[in-house]
Amino acid sequence: MRKHNWPVIAAVLLAALSRGGELCAQSAQPSAEAIAELKQQVHELQRKIEALETLDQKVKVIDRKLDADEKTQHDNALTLPVIQASKDGFFIKSPDESYQLHIGGWTQTEGRFYAGQEPSGISSTFLMRRIRPYLEGTVGQYYDFQILTDFGQGATVVQDAYTDIHYFDHYQLAAGKFKEPIGLERLQDDRYLEFPERSLASNLVPDRSIGVALHGELFDRLVEYKFSVMNGVPDNTASVDTATNSPKDFAGRLFFHPFRALGVEAAQDFGLGASGSVGDERGSTALDSFKSTFQNTFFTYKTGVFAAGERYRISPQFNYYYGPFVLYGEYVENWQALGKTALGKKKKGHKNPREFEIGRGIDNQAWELTAGYVLTGDATAYDGLQPRHDFDPAGGNWGALEVVARIDRLLVDRDAFNLGFAGPAASAREDLEWAVGLNWYLNRHVKLETAYVRNRFTLGATHNHNRPGEDGILTMLQLQF
């Protein structure tokens, strides 16, 4: 608060006294005129003092108002949300960030063009492969959430919808719909894949299911773990939101970064681990069908075949990122007990002529190996590549260019055909694929992928010939925000 302006008042008094002293010096016996002049000066002085006091009161009022305004602004700053729009996305946050909302999403426009014979009834086409808006954030500091939907290919699917409780960074609990912790490439976000479509190995692992999971990182990020209890779903699907039978899947994954503690820079992002599941699946809706890289079904079980019990999955895996280089691979083995129905002779008193036959388990296998190198020298990572220079032809910058290559194989158990669960005329036993591609990262948000893909099948056609191969080009333009 401001005080009286005493220096100004003192200056005025001194001036008056000085003037009075001069007059006194001129005449020891002041005249009536001199006395009147002194009275006039005293009167003027009193008027100025009163004006200064009035001004001081006004300044005090203004100071109090400014203090009140500052306090109001401070109080508002503690309650008003922070709205942010930047290259990192769109956010609404509370000042202490205990409440946050992130609005994002991505679209992927894909092109599939066959170089040779087109599969029967299938044409080269453009399609909206994925349209995925999402909401994610934090409520009350310790409760994260994500809601991810997909409107691609003319269907609406809830991909993710879960809550993650994290009072402790090392031990977090997730509940809802999310990816089962099995596989390697399956667990990577679609936005960060090296190719427009995942490898054949992803046919043998689940996508999303509903359940609960304990997860976290231990020993300064040397170990990642996730253990879950899930409903259990057919492999390679995210559209099943209810359980088809009472038993549950027990799935888990351990992944190690063994060289992080040694401080060896070249090996910091080398990881290896294993994942798997144990469950009991029953019914025809629990069965899988396998798709080629062009997403055409090349294997399906016969009508009347159903899941009849235990299902096991195991997947050892590794990945390695160093500067512009990436290399990763995985192996998947999937064992499922099957049964089938067969028409029998109707016996007296029996209304249903069908008989159930339980066969042995079918053991399907797949593997993949993928490598990539960024020609422009930009560093790649598990969560995507961010070019050092965004595409700007006027400035001579062209983003980042990456070459990629992959080889993978899916092999169906021979007994699936020997025991009559599948027919060699309709289903192929093997798909062997290789692919090469070029990825252009215009910036963090826009990516164009182009790949030449070749699939070769064993069995799966009439007239004692193998299913025709699928050769062609896959393209994908991605925009994420």
Amino acid at site 165: I
Total structural domains in the chain? 2
* Digit-coded pLDDT (tens) for 253-290: 999 999 998 888 899 999 999 999 999 988 877 788 99
Residue with tokens 């009275």: 39
Gap between the Cα atoms of 269 and 85, Å rounded? 31
What is residue 9's predicted lDDT score, i.e. its pLDDT?
57
Domain span including residue 292: 87-480
pLDDT at 321 exceeding the cut of 50: yes
List the structure tokens of 251.
């799935």
Whether the predicted pLDDT of 353 surpasses 60: no
Q: Are 164 and 173 in contact (CB under 8 A)?
A: yes
Look at residue 49 in the predicted model and tell me its pLDDT: 78
Pairing relationship of beta strands 208-218 and 223-230 according to DSSP bridges:
antiparallel
Residue 245 sits at φ, ψ, to 5 deg, of -155, 160
pLDDT score, position 112: 97
Q: How many CB atoms lie within 10 A of CB 152?
A: 17
104 lies in a domain?
yes
Q: Report which of 4, 13, 90, 75 is spatially closest to residue 44, judged by C-alpha positions.
A: 13
Write out pLDDT tens, residues 391-436. 999 999 999 999 999 999 999 999 999 999 999 988 999 999 999 9
Q: Within 13 Å and on the Cβ side, how many CA atoms surround 202?
A: 20
Does residue 361 sit in the same domain as residue 216?
Answer: yes
What is d(CA 214, CA 205) in angstroms, rounded to the nearest whole number?
20
Burial of 27 (0-12, 13-18, 19+ CB in 10 A): exposed
Q: Which two tokens stand for residue 180?
A: 């089962």
Q: Are the beta carbons of 353 and 345 closer than 8 angstroms?
A: yes
Query: What's the whole-number mean pLDDT along residues 240-251?
Result: 84
What residue spans of 360-439 are helical by DSSP H?
415-418
Please give the model's pTM, rounded to 2 decimal places: 0.81
> Which DSSP state fits 397?
B
DSSP string, 240-268: --S-SSS--EEEEEEEE-TTGGGT-GGGT
Residue type, 437: G
Residue 297 above 80 pLDDT?
yes
Residues 20 and 164 in one domain: no
**Contact (Cβ atoms closer than 8 angstroms) between residue 155 and residue 177:** no
Q: What is the rounded distance in angstroms from the CA atom of residue 281 to the CA atom of residue 286? A: 6
Q: Which of 79, 105, 132 is the last residue before a domain boundary?
A: 79
Would you give the DSSP letter of residue 152? G
Whether residue 55 lies inside any domain: the answer is yes
- Lookup: tokens for 300: 């399906």
Residue 429 counted as domain residue: yes
3-state secondary structure of 428: strand
CA dist., res. 305 & res. 421, Å (int) = 6
| 50 falls within a domain | yes
Q: Answer yes or no: do 121 and 179 share one domain.
A: yes
Residues 68 and 92 in one domain: no
Q: Is the pLDDT reported for residue 347 higher than 50?
A: no
55 HSE (CA, 13 A, CB side): 11
109 and 10 in a common domain: no
69 and 121 inside one domain: no
Residue 468 in domain? yes
Residues 256/271, Cβ–Cβ less than 8 Å: yes
242 and 94 within one domain: yes
Domain ends where: 54, 79, 104?
79
Closest residue by Cα to residue 435 from 85, 193, 236, 84: 193
Q: Identify the DSSP state of 204.
A: G
Q: pLDDT tens-digit profile of 429-454?
A: 999 999 999 999 999 999 999 999 99
Q: Do 439 and 380 share a domain, yes or no? A: yes
Burial class (CB in 10 A: 0-12, 13-18, 19+), 239: middle
Determine the Cα–Cα distance for residues 389 and 395; give it in Å rounded to an integer: 10
What is the spatial distance between Cα 282 and Cα 356, in angstroms, rounded to a whole number?
13
One domain, residues 29 and 145: no
- What is the rounded CA–CA span in Å between residue 413 and residue 361? 9
End-of-domain residue from the set 79, 111, 138: 79
- Whether residue 282 lies inside any domain: the answer is yes
Residues 37 and 166 in one domain: no
Beta bridge mates, 135? 103, 147
How far is residue 451's CA from residue 98's CA, in Å, rounded to a whole number? 43
Q: How far apart are the first and last CA of the chain?
A: 50
Q: Residue 137: which pLDDT band, with cuts at 50, 70 and 90?
A: very high
- Computed over every residue of the chain, the mean pLDDT equals 88
pLDDT per residue as tens digits for the range 151-169: 999 899 999 999 999 999 8
Q: Quick one: 354 exposed, middle or buried, by C-beta within 10 A (0-12, 13-18, 19+)?
A: exposed
Residue 444, domain member (yes or no) = yes
Shared-domain flag, residues 252 and 215? yes
Is residue 1 assigned to a domain? no
If asked whether residues 183 and 266 sit together in one domain, one would say: yes
Which CATH number belongs to the domain containing residue 229 in this structure?
2.40.160.10
Inter-CA distances, 62 with 1, 19, 50, 55, Å: 9, 36, 18, 10
